[in-house]
Structures are given as structure tokens and as C-alpha cells.
Amino acid sequence: MSSQRSARLVVLASGGGRTLENLQLCIQRGELAAEIVVVIVSRADLQARERAQKLGLATMVIGPQSHPDRALRDKLLLATIHEARPDFVILAGWLQLLPIPPELEGKVLNIHPALLPAYGGKGFYGHHVHQAVIRDGAAISGCTVHFATSAYDQGPVVLQTAVPVLAQDSPDDLADRVFAAECESYPQAIRHLLAEDAWWEGGQVYWRDS
């Protein structure tokens, strides 16, 4: 995005909202030239909604409990996103598969708590990922920022950050280390995209020659 205006972000969250909070704090510190115009949460009782409200962000609840009909839910979700006119849609622990019409291709970003394609796909989220990494005795894990597509965790990668898995790690220990990397990596990836250092084209990510 070559203009000087702040990028418009829509954030979707299904959990505690720590990723959302990190992004908003980066914006407030002047580290990310963006504004979060609306936060969509999947349940009214989520901590993500509480965090968003404390941060002064507009919130909406759109999920299986509030909108049981899947077709109507997806229609409302996409209508809310389109109304916000986002430069990017940021998935921040969003656990549902977001329908991505052609006009949103290359605009939806996700962060996954592992080095994709390892430990990705349906059912691999949050604590489940870290448990699997520890169980398998992997030496390295990390996080992946990627464009979301119609399949879980299969979109092209923008940025990956590796972290070590230590011998004494519990899943919680690893989760803390990976989340610290996520707090750096997600804003960094968004900055690269806003500066047009990297971009989506034809289902691939391309980088400007340095």
C-alpha cells in the first residue's frame, strides 16, 4: 500500500485476544501504520471481546451460537468485512474456516503456531499444536504468517520464525516461546505487505529484490 494513510484492518478472533491486543499496542506505539476498524468474535463470552472493548475497538459477535445457520452466518460475516473496506483481514486465533470470495483473495492473513506445513490443518490449533510438537520430540518449532485460502493452513507463506524446543519444555513452555515470536512476526509481516516489500499474486507470495 503505497499511500500514507493508515491501513484498515478487520480482526477475527475466537480466543483470548492476545494477538489482537498485541497488534493494537503496536499501532498505538506507532510501530504499525494501521487502524483496526472492527473486531469480529465468534462468541459473546470470549476474552477477546473483552480485550477489544477495553482497547476501545468496535466489536461484533458472529458465530455458531449467535448465528446457527451456516449460510446466513457466512453471508453476515462477509458483509461485515466488506462494509469495513479493509486493506487486510487479520485472523487472530479464528477457529472457523473463513469463506474467501475472489475479491478477498490475497487480503486475508493468518498466523499459525508452528512451521508450516508441519503441524497444520484441521484440528491443529493452539495447545494441540504444541502438544504434538513435544510428543514428537521435534527440535524446532515456531510460527508462520501466511495468506489464508479455502483450506486450513495451506496458503502461501509470508514469513516464518523458528524457535528452539528445549528438552525440559512442557507444551505451555513452548507455547510461551512461540507466542513471543508471534508478537514480533505478525506485525513484521503486515509491515512488509503494507510497504509492498511482499505481495500476493496468483496464489503466490513475491518479494521485492533488496
Same domain, 146 and 70: no
The single-letter code of the amino acid at 17 is G
| Cβ count near 199 (within 10 Å) | 16
Q: Is residue 56 part of a domain?
A: yes
Q: Could you tell me the end-to-end alpha-carbon distance of the chain, in angstroms, rounded to an integer?
A: 18
Same domain, 126 and 90: no
Given pLDDT bands bounded at 50, 70 and 90, which one contains residue 210? low
Predicted local distance difference test score (pLDDT) of residue 190? 97
146 as an active site residue: the answer is no
pLDDT tens readout for residues 36-79: 999 999 999 999 999 999 999 999 999 999 999 999 999 999 99
**Could you tell me the CA-to-CA distances from 192 to 21, 25, 97, 145, 200 in Å, in that order?**
20, 18, 25, 12, 12
Same domain, 92 and 133: no
How many folded domains does the chain comprise?
Answer: 2
Residue 182 has pLDDT above 90, yes or no: yes
Q: Is residue 156 part of a domain?
A: yes
Same domain, 133 and 89: no
Q: How far apart are CA 209 and CA 86, in angstroms?
A: 27
Q: How far apart are CA 48 and CA 51, in angstroms?
A: 5
Higher pLDDT, 2 or 99: 99
Same domain, 163 and 85: no
- From the candidates 82, 112, 146, 192, give the one annotated as an active-site residue: 112
Percent above pLDDT 70 for the chain: 98
**Could you tell me the CA-to-CA distances from 66 to 70, 77, 151, 156, 169 in Å, in that order?**
11, 12, 24, 32, 38
pTM to 2 decimal places: 0.94
Grid coordinates belonging to 136: 514428537
**CATH number of the domain that residue 181 is part of:** 3.40.50.170
Same domain, 95 and 117: no
Same domain, 54 and 123: no
Distance of alpha carbon 179 from the chain centroid: 12
Same domain, 92 and 118: no
Same domain, 126 and 173: yes
Q: Is residue 104 part of a domain?
A: no
Given pLDDT bands bounded at 50, 70 and 90, which one contains residue 209? confident
Q: How far apart are CA 186 and CA 36, in angstroms?
A: 14
Same domain, 60 and 128: no
Domain span at 95: 1-99
pLDDT tens readout for residues 82-113: 999 999 999 999 988 899 999 999 999 999 99
Which of 130, 135, 139 is closest to 174 using CA atoms? Answer: 130
Q: How far apart are CA 105 and CA 35, in angstroms?
A: 20
Q: What is the dihedral of CA 50, 56, 62, 67, to 10 degrees?
A: 80
